[in-house]
Amino acid sequence: MLHRIELHKIAETTDVVVIDRWNVRVGDVVEANQSLASLETDKVTVDFTSPMAGTVTELLIAEGDEARTGEQMLVIEA
């Protein structure tokens, strides 16, 4: 089953982050709580972690692009 993973709220003061670096590629097998990407807010860099185990099938936002809370980030097949 395919799961579209959304960006959860990272910080109280912002709903926008920049994808600093994807830590996974399409085809990678990931575990729950594994770091998927490094995200930059206006104040800090934080890890975006996987809510489930599975295989990454699609990255929906490119490195360097902005993402908003609730936006779909990637697809994982569980």
CATH number, domain of 15, equals 2.40.50.100
Does residue 62 register a pLDDT over 90?
yes
Average pLDDT for 1-29:
93
Does residue 10 register a pLDDT over 90?
no
Q: Buried (b) or exposed (e) across 14-32, using 16+ Cβ within 10 A?
A: eeebbbeebbbeeeeebee
pLDDT digits (tens, 9 = 90+) for 25-54: 999 999 999 999 999 998 889 999 999 999
Q: How many CB atoms lie within 10 A of CB 59?
A: 17
Query: What is the pLDDT, as a whole number, of residue 74?
Result: 98
Distance CA 35, CA 30 (A): 9
Q: Which domain holds residue 70?
A: 2-77
Residues recorded for the chain: 78
Which residue would you say has higher pLDDT here, 23 or 43? 23
Total domain count, the chain: 1
